[in-house]
């Protein structure tokens, strides 16, 4: 649900409100589902995109690259 609300705030341009929701969703999903689960990768991408839009490009890029690497390594494995 946090990821859904984060998306709502992101689409409204309220990035500072979206960021903590995406961060919480990512932390929970990592703990419960693991780094390579598709839902975790969605949260990782969402947070990375938000950080990039906020001007925190290096942090956002790292998350986006990690999500892509996990998705590529796990895809159809």
* Average pLDDT of the chain, as a whole number: 93
| pTM reported for the whole predicted model | 0.90
The per-residue pLDDT for range 29-61, each reduced to its tens digit, is 999 999 889 999 999 999 999 999 999 999 999
Where residue 76 falls among pLDDT bands split at 50, 70, 90? Answer: low
Where residue 19 falls among pLDDT bands split at 50, 70, 90? Answer: very high
| CATH number, position 69 | 1.25.40.10
Residue that has been written with the tokens 């001007």 in this structure: 55
Residue that has been written with the tokens 């649900």 in this structure: 1
Count of domains observed in the chain: 1
Where residue 7 falls among pLDDT bands split at 50, 70, 90? Answer: very high
Start-to-end CA distance of the chain, whole Å, equals: 28
Domain that holds residue 58: 2-74
Measure the CA–CA gap between 68 and 54, rounded to whole angstroms: 20
């Amino acid at each position: 649900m946090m990821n859904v609300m984060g998306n709502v705030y992101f689409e409204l341009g309220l990035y500072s409100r979206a960021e903590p929701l995406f961060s919480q969703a990512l932390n929970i999903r990592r703990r419960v589902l693991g780094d390579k689960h598709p839902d975790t990768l969605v949260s990782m991408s969402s947070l990375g995109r938000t950080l990039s839009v906020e001007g925190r490009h290096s942090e956002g890029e790292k998350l986006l690259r990690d999500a892509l690497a996990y998705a590529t390594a796990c895809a159809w494995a």
